């Protein structure tokens, strides 16, 4: 049954997801096209319309990225609210499935959508950077793309010395950090919607209020999580033993721990609200 | 069954149930008669639906109970009207049977089990609201039901849709409220469930649609199943009912057969209802 739930969950998300992909692709193509209109040769003035177009496309791209990432979260949350707590909830909660399966299907579908969105944004950024580099380098005959790659590989060689961790490990750490963070974020958002149901007369306001309270708590926890980093930074003034990663990792680990702890709490809050406190209007 | 009724009344000793106790029904001889449950040959040790001292109090409602110490046994093979004025607890009761609300105390047993995925497999529920996803097409909703309910008949659903001239390619958001309700009813009645629970299936639709809905219910009714039908429009459904349940202030007032009311009282259920709930 989980597979069937997942199928319909994905069907519910795929259309808005596709729209956002189109928006992202369009802004990426537009930005790349505008970049080609710029002549970066320092001894030639850039036409006003060209610089305006570049600024406009960068703004558009920036808001496109923000819109896609926030928009996806909103769509996931709205779908969760609609299918679990509004009239559609009558169908969802009378299906011959467990509440756990319903919640897991929504989490998995949202997670897949989030990961795909991150990958799409990464590809988009990579394309823009590549187009920009190729375009700029086309005006510098004495410096080729191969030269640039060689410089970058040299930088990668020095990565471990600066960051205190091998580049592969660092990116693996970031990937795992992001994946766990993404799951925790989805569970927390769902939890806020569920906790909002406690405020029976204004459930949406309740959910928004729950979200702000959760964010406030996370900010307070972030302050405490950053204390080890500050302590090490102060220590570094006298003793330069700490690498960049050595400075950052305790704070990042603590923040991840707090996020996961909050997500675990929210998971059980979701289960409790969906089973014991469900009260559809 | 009489024991169950007696228990319900015996426990109706709070202020909220005083009016129920003083109703004309209480002095009626119907209570002394054998209940329809006892008449049913399929009444076994495993009733289709059993309510044991069921109570529901909503948060923020003080001590008021929307369903108050309700005891009831529903057998198989009956069409039962769940009747009562607004706010008497019909929908709350239905939601608890469907597992949409958790009882404050007491229990609901369907085939001997508390509401769970196994009980949801045997209940086909039509809520008073439109619960379909407006973004989906009618055919997609049919596939949805076919995917989740093993007892769903796709042929039956398409047959009924065709008979009503509802296009399976139409998106639900393009359909009128009445047509959506018909689609919803078709989906619910295309199952071979043990228990059909229909909450206000004919409210808010025109008389022609009302006739169609009632015809659909009767046509698709499986004699081994039970239909629990909640409504205010008693005169419209009276002829299809085997039994009636009267509720007042969250309590069970009466559970008897339609024939008993007619023969003992010499009145139609509608007339009797108006007397019982006269303001």
Predicted pLDDT at B43: 40
The CATH number given to B2-276 is 3.40.50.300
* Contact yes or no for A90 and B131 at CB 8 A: yes
Please report, for chain B, the start and end positions of each structural domain, with discontinuous segments joined by +: 2-276
The average pLDDT across B1-19 equals 38
Q: How many CB atoms sit inside 10 A of residue B155's CB?
A: 8
Helix, strand or coil, per DSSP, at residue B106: strand
- Predicted local distance difference test score (pLDDT) of residue A173: 87
Residues B105, B52 contacting (CB under 8 angstroms): no
User: Could you write out the DSSP letters of every residue in A116-129?
Assistant: HHHHHHHHHHHHHH
Residue A118: closest CA among A166, A44, A174: A174
Better-predicted residue by pLDDT, B43 or B215: B215
From A12, A96, A278, residue closest to B148, measured CB to CB:
A96
Question: Is a pLDDT exceeding 70 seen at residue A46?
Answer: no
Question: Which pLDDT value is given to residue B204?
Answer: 67
CB contact under 8 A, A280 and B121: no
For residue A82, the model assigns a pLDDT of: 92
The yes-or-no verdict on residue B238 having pLDDT over 90 is no
Tell me the pLDDT band of B23, cut-offs 50, 70 and 90: very low
**B123/A88 Cβ within 8 A:** no
Any CB–CB contact under 8 A between B125 and chain A? yes
Strand, helix or coil for residue A47 = coil
Residue B41 has pLDDT above 60, yes or no: no
8 Å CB contact of A200 and B123: no
B118 to chain A, closest Cα gap in Å: 6
Q: What is the pLDDT of residue B158?
A: 92
B58 interface with A at CB cutoff 8 Å: yes
Distance, CA of A102 to CA of B48 (rounded, Å): 26
Q: How far is CA B210 from CA B75, B131, B213, B215, B218, in A?
A: 26, 19, 5, 8, 12
A82 CA to chain B: closest CA distance, Å? 9
User: Which of A 61-100 lie inside 8 A of B, CB atoms?
Assistant: 83, 87-91, 93-98
Residue of B nearest to A281 (CA): B129
Q: What's the CA gap between B133 and B137, in Å, rounded?
A: 9
Query: Is A208 in contact with A222 (CB distance < 8 Å)?
Result: no
* pLDDT at res. B6: 34
| Averaged pLDDT of chain A | 86
The predicted pLDDT at position A201 comes to 81
Locate the chain B residue with the closest alpha carbon to A95. B120
The reported pLDDT for the residue numbered B164 is: 83
pLDDT of A237: 60
Res B148: pLDDT: 94
CB-based contact B161:B138 (threshold 8 Å): yes
pLDDT per residue as tens digits for the range B66-102: 888 999 999 988 899 999 888 888 999 999 999 998 8
What is residue A239's predicted lDDT score, i.e. its pLDDT? Answer: 57
Sheet containing B105-110: order of strands: B67-74, B49-56, B105-110
Beta bridge partners of B243: B80, B257
- Which pLDDT value is given to residue A135? 83
Q: For the ranges A22-36, A158-172, A194-208, B175-189, which has the lowest average pLDDT?
A: A158-172
User: Containing H/E element for B187?
Assistant: helix B177-189
Contact A90 B101 (CB under 8 A): no
Residue reference for tokens 């988009």: A124
Average pLDDT, chain B: 80
How far does the CA of residue B16 sit from the closest CA of chain A (Å)?
22
pLDDT band at A43 (very low <50, low <70, confident <90, very high): low
Position B31 scores a pLDDT of 34
Query: Cα(B213)–Cα(B174) distance, rounded to whole angstroms?
Result: 21
Residue predicted with more confidence, B37 or B251? B251
Lowest mean pLDDT among A147-151, A163-167, B47-51, B251-255: A163-167
Quick check: A265 contacting B, CB < 8 Å? Answer: no
Task: State what percent of residues in chain A have pLDDT above 90.
Answer: 43
Q: pLDDT tens across A208-261, in order?
A: 999 999 999 989 998 988 888 888 777 766 556 667 777 788 888 888 898 889
Question: Looking at the partner chain, which of B118, B129, B144 has a beta carbon nearest the beta carbon of A90?
Answer: B129
Percent of chain B with pLDDT strictly greater than 70: 83
Distance CA A86, CA A81 (A): 7
Of chain A, the percentage scoring pLDDT greater than 70 comes to 94
Under 8 Å between Cβ of B124 and B191: yes
Q: Is the pLDDT of residue B262 over 70?
A: yes
Cβ proximity of B88 and B249 under 8 Å: yes
DSSP state of B112: T
> Chain A closest CA to B146's CA: distance in Å?
11
What are the φ and ψ backbone dihedral angles of B110, each rounded to 5 degrees?
-115, 120
Contacts of A96 in chain B (CB under 8 A): 117-118, 120-121, 148-149
Question: Which pLDDT belongs to residue A99?
Answer: 93
Question: Do A37 and A58 contact (CB within 8 A), yes or no?
Answer: no
B102, B123, B130: residue with CB nearest A87:
B130
ipTM of the complex: 0.81
* Cβ–Cβ below 8 Å for A88 and B127: no
Mean pLDDT of A126-154: 84
Which residues, in sequence order, are CB contacts of A140 under 8 Å at separation 6+? Answer: none
Region label for B112, one of left (φ > 0), alpha (ψ between -120 and 50) or beta (otherwise): left
B59:A88 CB<8 A: no
- Which of A7, A89, A93 to mutate against chain B (most B CBs within 10 Å)? A93
Cβ within 8 Å of A, B 59-78: 59-60
Quick one: tokens of B116?
A: 């769970």
Mean pLDDT calculated for residue range B128-156: 91
pLDDT value of position B34: 36
Q: Which residues of A115-141 are buried (b: 16+ CB within 10 A; e: fewer)?
A: eebeebbeebeeebeebbeebebeeee
CA distance A152 to B89: 72
| Bigger pLDDT: A190 vs B224 | A190
- pLDDT of A60-107, one tens digit each? 888 889 998 899 999 999 999 999 999 999 999 999 999 999 999 999
Position A145 scores a pLDDT of 81
Taking an 8 Å cut-off on Cβ atoms, the answer to whether B99 and A12 are in contact is no
**Angle of CA points A246, A248, A250, to nearest 5°:** 80
pLDDT at position B27, please?
A: 34
């Amino acid at each position: 049954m989980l597979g069937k739930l997942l199928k319909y969950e994905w069907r519910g998300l795929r259309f808005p997801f596709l729209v956002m992909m189109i928006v992202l692709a369009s802004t990426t193509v537009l930005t790349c096209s505008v970049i080609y209109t710029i002549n970066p040769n320092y001894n030639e003035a850039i036409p006003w319309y060209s610089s305006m177009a570049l600024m406009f496309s960068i703004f558009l791209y920036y808001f496109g990225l923000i819109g896609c990432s926030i928009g996806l979260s909103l769509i996931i949350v709205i779908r969760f609210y609609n299918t679990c707590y509004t009239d559609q909830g009558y169908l969802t909660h009378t299906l011959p499935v467990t509440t756990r399966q319903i919640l897991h299907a929504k989490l998995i579908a949202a997670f897949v959508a989030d990961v795909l969105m991150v990958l799409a944004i990464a590809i988009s950024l990579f394309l823009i950077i590549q187009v920009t580099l190729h375009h700029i380098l086309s005006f510098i005959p004495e410096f080729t793309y191969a030269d640039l790659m060689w410089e970058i590989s040299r930088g990668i060689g020095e990565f471990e010395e600066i960051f205190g961790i091998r580049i592969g490990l660092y990116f693996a750490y970031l990937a795992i950090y992001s994946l766990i963070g993404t799951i925790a974020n989805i569970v927390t958002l769902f939890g806020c919607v569920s906790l909002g149901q406690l405020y029976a007369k204004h459930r949406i306001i309740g959910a928004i209020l729950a979200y702000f309270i959760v964010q406030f708590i996370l900010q307070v926890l972030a302050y405490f999580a950053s204390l080890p980093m500050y302590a090490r930074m102060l220590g570094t003034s006298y003793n330069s033993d700490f690498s960049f990663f050595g400075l950052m990792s305790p704070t990042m680990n603590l923040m991840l721990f707090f996020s996961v702890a909050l997500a675990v709490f929210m998971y059980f809050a979701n289960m409790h609200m969906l089973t014991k406190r469900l009260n559809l209007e | 069954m009489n024991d169950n009724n007696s228990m319900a009344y015996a426990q109706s000793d709070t202020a909220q149930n005083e009016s129920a106790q003083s109703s004309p029904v209480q002095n009626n001889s119907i209570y002394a008669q054998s209940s329809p449950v006892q008449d049913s040959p399929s009444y076994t040790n495993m009733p289709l639906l059993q309510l044991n001292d069921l109570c529901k109090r909503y948060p923020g409602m003080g001590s008021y109970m929307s369903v108050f110490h309700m005891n009831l046994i529903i057998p198989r093979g009956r069409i039962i009207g769940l009747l009562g004025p607004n706010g008497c607890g019909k929908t709350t009761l239905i939601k608890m049977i469907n597992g949409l609300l958790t009882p404050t105390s007491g229990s609901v047993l369907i085939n001997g089990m508390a509401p769970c995925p196994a009980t949801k497999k045997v209940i086909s529920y039509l809520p008073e609201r439109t619960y379909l996803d407006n973004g989906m097409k009618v055919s997609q909703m049919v596939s949805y039901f076919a995917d989740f309910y093993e007892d769903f008949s796709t042929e039956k659903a398409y047959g009924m849709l065709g008979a009503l001239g509802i296009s399976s390619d139409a998106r639900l958001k393009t359909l009128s409220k009445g047509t959506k309700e018909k689609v919803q009813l078709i989906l619910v009645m295309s199952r071979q469930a043990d228990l059909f629970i229909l909450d206000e299936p004919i409210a808010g639709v025109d008389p022609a649609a009302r006739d169609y809905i009632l015809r659909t219910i009767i046509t698709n009714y499986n004699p081994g199943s039970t239909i629990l039908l909640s409504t205010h429009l008693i005169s419209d459904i009276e002829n299809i009912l085997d039994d009636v349940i009267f509720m007042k202030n969250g309590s069970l007032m009466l559970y008897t057969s339609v024939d008993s009311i007619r023969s003992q009282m010499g009145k139609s259920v509608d007339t009797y209802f108006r007397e019982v709930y006269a303001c």
